[in-house]
């Protein structure tokens, strides 16, 4: 839905066959606070910057805060597709069943769509992700935080004060979509500050070779695709008890660690 000036407070979204909350088409200046999504059949909480209903800009000026998402069975605890000047803070996301804890993506799904704006940035603050990630779409595995540069611009991303504990397959994964053998858009202007990742271990299942990475620039997520493209900067990245702290064999992606 497209909404402006809406407040959703002290609410529970449970046992759904689709999203708990999903705002789109230029939704602006909304507040979602003190709420819970449990066992949602798509993303528990989402912003999708489609413009197919006539919106002139991407979603912006929205705040999602003090939220819990658990047992999401079809997609992510939080998904953000495009837009700018949106803030997501004070989140607890745990026990995802098939997908990432947080999806940050510029995929348009074939809709008219606005990618991520450069400024003001999209901000993710003070987040705990516990036992997040899963596998879906064949053999692809998903991390606690999935960054997917795809159809439109991927930029202006700021992630700070995050604890990732015991991710199912990997902690943070970067992926780029390809068309005709060429990358669509790179990951740019993406900064992580004060991030801790612990307990990324080998899964021991059919997807064992795609597991155990704290930070992963994915070299081949699916047949016909290609390696992650772009760069991301980490300041005060803390890594403990992971099978492999950083996996980057791409040659097309740079992980800068300060």
45-80 pLDDT, tens per residue? 999 999 999 898 999 999 999 999 999 999 999 999
What are residue 38's DSSP bridge partners?
14, 70
Q: Is the pLDDT of residue 1 over 80?
A: no
Q: 57, 81 in Cβ contact below 8 A?
A: no
Task: Please report whether residue 126 resides in a domain.
Answer: yes
**Which domain range does residue 42 map to?**
7-168+175-226
Instruction: Kindly report, residue by residue over 186-201, the tens digit of the pLDDT.
Output: 999 999 999 999 999 9
- Domain membership of residue 140 (yes or no) is yes
Give the mean model confidence (pLDDT) for residues 228-254. 98
pLDDT value of residue 139: 83
Residue 235 within a domain: no
- Domain-located, residue 100: yes
Q: Is 239 among the domain residues?
A: no
Q: What pLDDT, on a 0 to 100 scale, did the predictor assign at position 137?
A: 83
Strands (E), 213-252: 213-217, 230-240, 244-248
d(CA 207, CA 91): 28
- The pLDDT of residue 5 is 97
Residues in contact with 126: Cβ distance below 8 Å, sequence separation at least 6, in sequence order? 89, 90, 91, 160, 161, 162
Domain assignment present for 119: yes
Say if residues 145 and 165 touch (Cβ distance below 8 Å). Answer: no
- Sequence-separated (6 or more) residues with CB below 8 Å from residue 65: 31, 32, 33, 34, 87, 88, 89, 90, 91
pLDDT reported for residue 204: 97
pLDDT band for position 222 (cuts 50, 70, 90): confident
The number of folded domains in the chain is: 1
Whether 66 is in a domain gets the answer yes
What is the pLDDT, as a whole number, of residue 223? 85
Question: Quick check: is 233 in a domain?
Answer: no
pLDDT computed for residue 166 by the predictor: 98
Residues 230, 188 contacting (CB under 8 angstroms): yes
């Amino acid at each position: 839905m497209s909404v402006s000036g809406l407040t959703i407070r002290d609410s529970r979204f449970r046992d759904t066959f689709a999203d708990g909350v999903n705002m789109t088409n230029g939704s602006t200046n909304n507040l979602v606070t003190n709420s819970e999504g449990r066992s949602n059949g798509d993303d528990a909480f989402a912003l999708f910057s489609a413009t197919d209903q006539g919106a002139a800009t991407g979603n912006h000026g929205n705040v999602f805060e003090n939220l819990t998402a658990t047992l999401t069975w079809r997609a992510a605890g939080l998904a953000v597709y495009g837009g700018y000047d949106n803030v997501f803070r004070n989140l607890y996301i745990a026990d995802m069943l098939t997908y990432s804890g947080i999806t940050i993506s510029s995929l348009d799904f074939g809709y008219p769509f606005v990618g991520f704006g450069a400024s003001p940035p999209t901000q993710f603050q003070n987040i705990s992700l516990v036992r997040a990630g899963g596998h879906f779409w064949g053999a692809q595995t998903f991390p606690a935080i999935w960054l997917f540069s795809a159809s439109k611009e991927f930029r202006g991303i700021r992630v700070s004060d995050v604890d990732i504990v015991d991710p199912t397959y990997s902690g943070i994964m970067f992926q780029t979509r390809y068309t005709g053998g060429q990358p669509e858009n790179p990951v740019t202007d993406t900064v992580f500050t004060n991030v801790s990742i612990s307990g990324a271990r080998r899964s021991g299942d059919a997807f064992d070779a795609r597991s155990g990475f704290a930070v992963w620039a994915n070299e081949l997520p699916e047949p016909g695709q290609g390696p992650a493209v772009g760069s991301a900067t980490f300041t005060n990245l803390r890594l403990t008890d992971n099978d492999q702290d950083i996996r980057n064999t791409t040659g097309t992606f740079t992980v800068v660690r300060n």
